[in-house]
Structure 1
Amino acid sequence: MQTSTQGPDILAGTLCRLVGVKPTSSNITNCPYRNNYAYVLGLPGSVPVQLDAKGAIRLKKARSICAIAFSFTTLGLASDLQAQTPSQAIFTPDDVFRLKTVDDIRISPDGGTIAYQTSDADIMIDASRHAVRMIDVATRRDWLLAEGSSSPRWSPDGRLIAYTSPGAGGRTRVMIAAIKRGAARMVAEIPGSPSEFSWSPDGRTIAFTMFVPEAGPTMQMPVTRPKDATWAAPPRIITGVRYEEDGQGMVAPGHVQLFTLPIAGGTPTQITTAPLDVQNPPSWTPDGSALIYSATNVDTLGANFHISGIYVVPASGGRARIISPSTLSGQMPSVSPDGQSVAFVAWTADGRDYSPSRLYVVDLGGGNLRQIGKSLDRDITSAVWADDGHSIYASYGDRGVDKIGRFPLDNSKITEIAANVTGDFSLSSNETIAYAAARSDRPADVAIQLRGGGSKVLTHRNEGLLAGKLLGIVRPLAVKSSLDGTAVGSWLTLPPRYDARRRYPLILDIHGGPYGYNSPVWSTKDQLYAAAGYVVLHANYRGSTSYGFAFADRIAQDPVGPSYTDLMSAVDAAVETGVADPDRLFVTGGSAGGKLTAWIVGNTTRFKAAVAEKPVINETTSALLSDQYYASELISGTKPWDDPMRFWAMSALSQVAKVATPTMLIVGEEDRRTPISEAKQLYNALTLRRIPTALVLVPGASHSTIGRRPSQAGILAKLTLDWFRQFDR
């Protein structure tokens, strides 16, 4: 190869900057390849890339964030995002490393103190550091309880708090701190990852769940291995239904079981032994004699496969009995204050692709099942009994906004208590609610809602970082679907210094699921896009939840048509209001949003460029290669071999002959939900069709964790922007 600085060197320069190397003429090298150019990035110390037979480059050095394959018909990425000077005071990729988040917010029984978990980005480890912090509700005094710890849980009397910390050799330490004395001690060091902690009413025992490995199929080696010999690992034999899971990789045989641990110390006692996976925190009866939990069958295909039941088991162990009907799949059980009833959320196990989660109450002995909150056509996600036992506090999504409501047992009027909630909530004995309060211009903070009304935000963890910055402004957008005139919940994030007299390039960002929804709250990615001068459009298209069953179920027979129409209607509205430039439209989305992105570019040429993240491209291969392959019949209503043409008709790959839009694909190398093979199919097809394309492979990232590490969040946003800018002409 000859060193040269001639030709488009944007890709090499961008990647140099992203891995912290100043681009120079000595480390930007080009070489001819089939009448195009392959740009190879040279870094000091080694050659970190290799060029494969198809002209793809792959970063090899450990400090590189992504592995990237490019079709060189594109001749590289568009111009690098210009660095912003401090005086401009807008949100930059550097700020991603300074963000602080709160989670797992737990209020003390008397409502006077809150324990919560923090996650602060650390640029040196490219990850978040966890800690448990405390805050006095009255004075707002905030202090550190335990560095590197998580999962705080109050004892019933509020004198102690349990949490977990990393132990030696991958073990987990269960710790208990005395709040007044400030002293902490280790109760046990447990192998594995115990979770879902719950105190017994007398404060002497903690219940938790933990995975218990079991012996799997083995084979006898034909030759005895000599002492001290180094041999290859033996073959892995798979005979079960579940053998891999996104975010975990290959799953060892075994089940998640329920345990108890005395806080005085000792060995955990395994309470459940059935071949079921225990889910969610267990709930104790008031007298401490029994535990109520949800568990699901993940081993045997059949009518009850992946259906969760609500079970009662003696706290000392023994035979468990189910108290929920087989027609419901129940989770999040909560025992009433008098110990006579159990509240839980459940969806109807009727084989439908989507079934809404509702709130139910059943007698502890089983029977007398009744639905609570019948008037609310929304998905319920969690439930906690009010102290008086006459109502239940529950969380739900309503038109893209997460809320907490009070649900009377007599099914009278539901009272909305709090809105813009992120994650779970906790309740004190005086019914003060603690939760993470969401905002559009800040990550969530710790907040409380008082029983008599009134709320207070107690923390402002990102104020020092964001107070002096110009941020993207979130505002609603009125959209009526051209399909049938139905309102489509939509909003825009406008660039800092937005000028209503001009039009802006627009990025349509499509949420995944599809049974889920986006909320108009803080989004790091949206702020990065807005800072680069783009308007970002979100639309909760048909299939989205929080708008009622009929709205979500509209895609049961046609998984893409109604969604596509809703999304195009949202883009039309953004253009008609004068915000978006119709000649500078771009589209992206992840998971189901990636699938819709791929479908969109096969059905319209209105977008200048597209980025499909972790997409489903071929419904047949996705149905059989996903870690959730066993659910494919629920998603499609049939199996690929029974109706192959239906699967093909639903596949974005079936539209590839019509694609003319430059399209980048992004996927995690450890993605087992929508594996790399999905993105590769579209990448390869577009390469063969000579359509500008690129494939971005993110090392170590699964479907659920892609972009979670701060550097990856920044680089993926930047690569997306660079891809769009290349074609923004």
Structure 2
Amino acid sequence: MTKRAITTEDFMSLEVFSDPQFAPDGTTYAYVSTTINDKKEYESNLFVQDLNEKTARQWTFGHHKNSNPRFSPDGTKVLFQSNRSGVPQLWLLPLDGGEAKQLTTFKNGAVNAEWSKDGKSILFTASLDKDDDVANQNELSKEELQKEKEEKSKQPLHVTNLKYKSDAQGFLDDKKAHIVIYDVEKETFTQLTEGDHHYSYQDISPDGSTILFSANLSEESDYELKSDIYLLDTATKAITRLTDGDGAYYTAKYSPSGNKIAYLGHKQQYLNATLTELYVYDVETKETVCLSEDWDFQLGDLMVGDTRLGGSEGGPVWSSDENKVFFIGSDNGAVNLYEVSLTGELKSLYQADSHVFGFSYHPTNESFVIGVSTPTVPCNFYLLDSKATVEQLTDANREFLDNVATSVPESITFKAKDGWDIHGWVLRPYGFEEGKKYPLVLEVHGGPHAMYGQTFFHEMQLLAAQGYVVLYTNPRGSHGYGQKFVDACRGDYGGGDYGDVMSAVDYALETYDFIDQERLGVTGGSYGGFMTNWIVGHTNRFKAAVTQRSISNWLSFYGVSDIGYFFNKWQHGYDLLDDPKALWDISPLKYADKVETPLLILHGELDYRCPIEQGEQFFVALKHLKKEVEFVRFPGANHELSRSGKPEMRVERLNHILRWFDKYL
């Protein structure tokens, strides 16, 4: 049977896995499955699977978002987060039968909960006003929430902080994220942090005497992009800073004995292009060792994709004997699972042409449940045992995979004009026939410090299904190829990075005789949108372009983006107040009169990362010059439109991309 081509709507039928969590006895694990329901809304539910069984059992039901499953240390209960009552709250599910019990009724919700090691307490984060009493919190009904939202929309926004908006959260208020502890036996809440700062809970010591959190407690925090790791005494609430205040530090974990702390971060030597380091702090000697000092790859998951929903553990996680630390890292277009000894010996535990998006470690069995995505399989869980044997546990999206054809990427490496090695991939079109010529679409990722690679990408597969050769690369500035490479685009936007993507096109045309050099298209979002705008202002080689959530004017970007006030300085070396002419010279808007390529501009109305005025300016300039241009504005959409935006808006976006390329290519 010939498999059919992928369609625009197919992403809505996919099941997306995340957050695997071993049960204490190591015989079962829980996870989160996210789908899109008949109402075209995201919903997520909890599942549990016995390692000896082929199918999983569903734990939660309904059109809600249930996530963050955490087994109690004795394995009798599961704590999870659910928005079924209106906002995210904490719920407790007994595993011997019975209904889930709601633990929190905080007005603004309770999130990211974890158990203490003895199971007597639960720690979580809550958004609180200065005078809130955690002992008397009452959530609003859905009707009251809606009324409050409507009333708030009628009030003026009084802004006093530099950081007053966020693409993820919209306009910010005076509430702060604080850490709260819940006594399971007494059923009481105690607020552990206070003041006019945000606190991010990390871990609690085995004896429960101290907790780890990350925060910026400086009086200048509104102007800084730093964070430190702190210790908080749970009895006295005394706070001790663990790191030096010279960078960004986060994701801290106690070793099983509590004698050591592993954490991630860096000193911002290359600002936001700095590779993440892994540190270990000795609680007794107060000495810190950097285990990753000699490495040259990025810790964590920097993969770009459009079918990942929900967070997962990425490390650091301690081994049971405290001699090793486990984590995932991004390298050469793949995300792998690693371990490092306390003497700095690095070992790959799972490395393939794939994307390890999360893992759970069981200390007794010395085994892992790992979540893996590949370019042709959206997601599955695997058991990686102590003997390095890999066993597939799930068979997600089987019906989809049995009926739909996917294109296998061909890895390419080519030389840029200045001799740098650039890595990328080519997808052949659906139903490929030798001797036939096909149009090509070049994709440019955002970031710029991110990474294309070995993961399932619906948009790429869709373009291939529509008869296009798809070319996607990791130009300089991308993660996965070392510190020098990821830093190479800073101060050189539109220079070497532009040369890299154009060299990719040259290489593809020289290598693949089935590409029609007269039918070339280009698209990209965010930084990729900037690059698309830059490309059409500097070459006429492309017959069609689609720019998404783009940047066209760095001068105005400085004042309108939620990151503009620092991003210009960090990426270009100057901002609006330092050198407006230099910013104008690297703004695609300056070259609008040179654009001859038909351009489609796609932008979300609520994008605060690359605000919609960036698209508006480019459209008006091009239209005023009587260029071939169209502008599509997506209501209610922020910067995440293509990844986690409203499903119906995602479909519209994809259809517009296909329409434009079909018209001109």
Normalised to the residue count of structure 1, the TM-score between the two structures is 0.82
Q: Deviations over 1:519-571 (max 9, x none)?
A: 12211111211111111111000000111000111112212211111111111
Question: Which of 648, 655, 661 is the aligned partner of 1:711?
Answer: 648
Question: Which of 239, 245, 253 is the aligned partner of 1:334?
Answer: 253
Q: Corresponding residue for 2:227? A: 308
Q: Deviations over 1:177-217 (max 9, x none)?
A: 2334465323233322322221101111111112223489x
The alignment partner of 2:617 has SS state of helix
Give the Cα separation in 2 of the matches to 1:622 and 1:526: 29
The reply to whether residue 542 of structure 1 matches residue 473 of structure 2 is no
Q: Deviations over 1:685-729 (max 9, x none)?
A: 11011111111111111012445333222221121111112112x
Contact kept? 1:292, 1:312, Cα under 8 Å? yes
Distance 1:583 1:214, change over 3 A: farther
Q: Corresponding residue for 1:13? A: none
Q: Corresponding residue for 1:204? A: 120
Question: Which of 273, 283, 295 is the aligned partner of 1:354?
Answer: 273
Distance 1:691 1:111, change over 3 A: same
1:171 shift after superposition: 3.8
Give the Cα separation in 2 of the matches to 1:298 and 1:506: 51
Distance 1:278 1:232, change over 3 A: closer
Tell me which moved more, 682-691 or 270-279. 270-279
Give the Cα separation in 2 of the matches to 1:312 and 1:370: 18
1:390 shift after superposition: 0.6
The reply to whether residue 527 of structure 1 matches residue 441 of structure 2 is no
Q: What residue identity is the alignment partner of 1:103?
A: S
Question: Which of 48, 70, 75 is the aligned partner of 1:158?
Answer: 75
Contact kept? 1:104, 1:117, Cα under 8 Å? yes
1:334 shift after superposition: 0.6
Within a 5 Å distance, the mapping from 1:73-92 to structure 2 comes to 89-92=4-7
The alignment partner of 1:672 has SS state of coil
Distance 1:663 1:297, change over 3 A: farther
The reply to whether residue 489 of structure 1 matches residue 426 of structure 2 is no
Within a 5 Å distance, the mapping from 1:119-268 to structure 2 comes to 119-122=34-37, 124-147=38-61, 148=64, 149-168=66-85, 170-181=86-97, 184-214=100-130, 233-264=154-185, 266-268=187-189
Contact kept? 1:213, 1:252, Cα under 8 Å? no
Distance 1:204 1:102, change over 3 A: same
Question: Which of 242, 257, 275 is the aligned partner of 2:196?
Answer: 275
Give the Cα separation in 2 of the matches to 1:413 and 1:556: 29
1:282 shift after superposition: 2.0
Distance 1:232 1:481, change over 3 A: closer
The reply to whether residue 118 of structure 1 matches residue 33 of structure 2 is yes
1:105 shift after superposition: 1.5
The alignment partner of 1:528 has SS state of helix
1:612 shift after superposition: 0.6
Give the Cα separation in 1 of the matches to 2:270 and 2:378: 38
Q: Deviations over 1:78-116 (max 9, x none)?
A: xxxxxxxx9762211242321111111212233211111
Q: Corresponding residue for 2:307? A: none
Q: What residue identity is the alignment partner of 1:185?
A: K
1:277 shift after superposition: 1.8
The reply to whether residue 432 of structure 1 matches residue 367 of structure 2 is yes
The alignment partner of 1:436 has SS state of strand
> What root-mean-square deviation, in Å, do the aligned CA atoms of Structure 1 and Structure 2 show?
2.3
1:298 shift after superposition: 8.7
Give the Cα separation in 1 of the matches to 2:612 and 2:131: 30
The reply to whether residue 689 of structure 1 matches residue 603 of structure 2 is no
* Unaligned 5+ runs, structure 2: 133-150, 301-314
Contact kept? 1:271, 1:317, Cα under 8 Å? no
The alignment partner of 2:60 has SS state of strand
Contact kept? 2:128, 2:177, Cα under 8 Å? yes
Distance 1:138 1:108, change over 3 A: same
Q: Which has the higher contact order (CA 8 A, sep 6+)?
A: 1
Contact kept? 2:424, 2:472, Cα under 8 Å? yes
Within a 5 Å distance, the mapping from 1:514-593 to structure 2 comes to 514-578=448-512, 579-593=514-528
Q: What residue identity is the alignment partner of 1:153?
A: R
Q: Corresponding residue for 1:284? A: 204
Question: Which of 400, 417, 439 is the aligned partner of 1:505?
Answer: 439
Q: Point out the structure with max Rg over C-alpha.
A: 1
Q: What residue identity is the alignment partner of 1:194?
A: A
Give the Cα separation in 2 of the matches to 1:466 and 1:249: 37
Q: What residue identity is the alignment partner of 2:658?
A: L
1:232 shift after superposition: 9.5
Within a 5 Å distance, the mapping from 1:410-429 to structure 2 comes to 410-419=343-352, 420-429=354-363
Question: Which of 380, 384, 389 is the aligned partner of 2:322?
Answer: 389
Give the Cα separation in 1 of the matches to 2:175 and 2:357: 29
The alignment partner of 1:195 has SS state of strand
1:166 shift after superposition: 2.1
Contact kept? 1:297, 1:307, Cα under 8 Å? no
Q: Deviations over 1:361-411 (max 9, x none)?
A: 112368311111333211212311111101100111001111110011101
Distance 1:151 1:298, change over 3 A: farther
Contact kept? 1:155, 1:161, Cα under 8 Å? yes
1:575 shift after superposition: 1.0
* Unaligned 5+ runs, structure 1: 1-85, 217-229
Distance 1:692 1:551, change over 3 A: same
Normalised to the residue count of structure 2, the TM-score between the two structures is 0.90
Percent identity over paired residues: 27
The alignment partner of 2:59 has SS state of strand
Give the Cα separation in 1 of the matches to 2:408 and 2:594: 36
Within a 5 Å distance, the mapping from 1:438-457 to structure 2 comes to 438-457=373-392
Distance 1:351 1:375, change over 3 A: closer
Q: What residue identity is the alignment partner of 1:402?
A: V
Q: Corresponding residue for 2:304? A: none
1:263 shift after superposition: 2.9
